[in-house]
Every structure is written in C-alpha cells, then in structure tokens.
Amino acid sequence: MLLGLSSGAIDETADLQSVIGNADAGIQAAAELSAFAEAAWRQDESLGGARAALRAAVGDAGLVEAAQTVAVFRSLNIAADSSGIPLDEDWKDAAAGFVGELGLDEFPTAANTPGY
C-alpha cells in the first residue's frame, strides 16, 4: 500500500480508502492492525482487546513492530503539533482533498485540526 503523492514516484495509484479500513489493502491482519493502531492512539479501554487480537494474528514480534510504528507516528504528530509546525504549502491542497475523500473530518481528532 502506498500513501498520497509518493505513489506517483513509481507510477502506482494509492488506494486511500484502505488507509482507514474501507478497502482490502492486501495486508496480513489488516483489521487487527487498524484496530490496534486506533486503540493505541486513543489509549482507551479497547486497547487490551485490540492488543490481544493483534498478538494472536501476528505473534509477539509483529505486535512489537506494530507498537513501535504507532509510537513513532504518535510522537511525530505530538512534536509537530506542540512546536506549531505548519503543514507545508505543497500539501495543503492534497490534505484538503484527503479530508473530503476519506471523511477524516468525522474523526474526533478533527476538532484539533486547523482549517486550511
């Protein structure tokens, strides 16, 4: 699966719906990975069950790799948000398109996102 504009570099088309679980991305344990990533981001009561389901699907090593990936993305977003780093001008139009195409404005965290 490729994201956004990077897919154009190798003449592929990104399936953006697969990013939010609306399409089959062809990824092993995609449903479990998505549920774990969302629960880890929210850090709510669903995390334990999501962690157990992912561990059953991909094993301990896969769970650790998924947790590391979530942690890296979470920390990058927190660092960027807290430092006031603005979205690059080149990405503003693309980001606005992604929001509409994927329905991202319906996620609870959309309330924290400045309008562009």
Q: Which residue type does 41 have? A: W
Q: What is the mean pLDDT of the chain?
A: 78
Q: Is the pTM higher than 0.75? A: no
| The one-letter amino acid at 91 | W
Q: How many helices (H) and strands (E) does the chain have?
A: 3, 0
Q: With left for phi above 0 and alpha for psi between -120 and 50, is residue 61 left, alpha or beta? A: alpha
pLDDT tens digits for 6-46? 666 667 666 666 666 555 666 788 889 989 988 988 888 99
Q: What are the backbone angles phi and psi of residue 3, rounded to the nearest 5°? A: -115, 140
* Dihedral class, residue 96 (left if φ above 0, else alpha if ψ from -120 to 50, else beta): alpha
